[in-house]
A = this chain, B = another copy of it.
Amino acid sequence: MLDKFKDECGVFGIYDRDGLDVSLLTYFGLYSIQHRGQESAGIAVSNGDEIIYHKGTGLVPEVFDEDNIDRLRQGSIAIGHVRHSTSDGNLPQNTQPLVTKYKKGNMAIAHNGALINASTLRDELENVGAIFQTNTDSEVMANIIARTSDKGLEEALKTMMSRIKGAYALTMMTEDSLIGIRDPHGIRPLALGILDDSYVIASETCAFDVIGAEYIRDVRPGEIIIITKDGLKSIQTPVPLESSFCLFEFVYFARTDSVIDGISVQASRREAGRILARESPADADIVIGVPDSGTTAALGYAEEANIPYAEGLIKNRYVGRTFIKPTQAIREQDIRIKLNALRRIVRGKRIVMVDDSIVRGTTSRAIVDMLRLTGAREIHMRISSPIIKYPCHFGIDTPDRQALIGANFSEEEICEQLGVDSLNYISIDGLLKTVESSGASFCLGCFNGKYPIECKGGCK
């Protein structure tokens, strides 16, 4: 509904050594990363002999109820997945985890990311007889593993990693092991935690907090973690000199309370607001944020600029995924179903409005119109991410270039189109400063078009 990049998936996994209720813990783990995918969810569990699962379309509490969680209670290893479907119309067959039987037994895969050579790999696999029942990258991975499993699972996983290209943060499961894998560029996040003596893996650390687990560290780029009854084994596969973690996880995707590579997402966002205030000051009466994702940077901006922070925009907490589409008559009020402007705060004011990003510009334009209608005198828009000029090919749902306002217009033109008095984006360097203590390198593809891996025929 909002004009944002969309994360495509979240993953979770747990290996019980303490008599835990792994299906329920996975349910709550998925609940906490629901922001990473709202269109389908699934949990698979192993009882040591076989893998059973339940998947469906909808939010986590819609897909799971007492009955089907109960059926999954026999397991002691579990993985889970939430998914934001992109171009496939949310087809039931593409829900994850993907559960399959193969030569060596059972295997389940939950994937966050996107392979850029999936279609080539599918062709190769089909040429040697494979059939495909889904459009998922997970099915490609499962086929490669199955075909290279003769020398054991570790070798198969390494072989698979040598063949697939792109972004992937995986939780996997066999009858007797839990596996976490992060691609060699470390594009998507994956963290390792522990609850009593039981290891947990999740896309974000907020999933550890919800179940009371402790964050240990992030899974490293190119690392395979295999957890069995004998404990945790880490295998490092070859990696490039520099990692390429998705900077947009800090900008928007990750939950404010998550910690990635030792960096607090909240702290980095507030710092981005501060840097933005230094880079692009404004002569204004108040600073407001666009809820919810612009709030943290707005607080930072206000602090640094020494301008009062005010709640100029209020979000309807009950707006869900679905509602009846407004007719033309009240279309212009569409934004007000989600957000409302506060006249007493806005009227007659010179406003700095901070948001985290602009994708198409449609929502921004509607908010600006609403603020003007509510009596704002000046609107100075400040964006806590650099201008987005390129789509992502590594697991994020982004529109085509022609729909990206930043890919087609200059800052001045955008400023005019949105009808604001001034518009400034944070610089790339400014944004990088907010995460410098991580020691990591970052993918800046959507900002500068330089992708960590070359797409065949050139990334568009």
Contacts and interface: CB of A to CB of B under 8 A. Distances in A.
Interface of A: 20-21, 24-25, 27-28, 31-32, 34-35, 38, 59-61, 64-66, 69, 98-103, 107, 122, 126-133, 139, 142-143, 146-147, 206, 209-212, 255-257, 259, 264, 266-267, 270, 292, 295-296, 299, 303, 308-311, 314, 316-320, 322-324, 326-327, 329-330, 332-333, 336-337, 340-345
Contacts of A314: 206, 255-257, 266
Contact of A131 (B59, B61, B101, B345): B101
A343 B266 CA distance: 10
Nearest to A295: B311
A120 to B, nearest CB: 14
Task: Summarize A's interface: helix, strand, loop or mixed.
Answer: mixed
B308 A296 contact: no
Contacts of A31: 316, 318-319, 323, 337
Contact of A102 (B64, B126, B255, B295): B126
Contacts of A146: 126, 129-131
Contacts of A337: 28, 31-32, 210
Given A210-B337, A318-B34, A324-B24, A130 B133 contact: no
Nearest to A335: B210
A445 B9 CA distance: 50
Contact of A24 (B102, B210, B327): B327
Given A34-B316, A210-B340, A212-B333, 9 more contacts: A24-B327, A25-B330, A28-B337, A65-B324, A98-B133, A129-B129, A209-B340, A266-B311, A267-B345
11 contacts: A21-B327, A24-B330, A32-B336, A35-B317, A98-B133, A128-B129, A129-B129, A210-B340, A266-B342, A267-B344, A296-B311
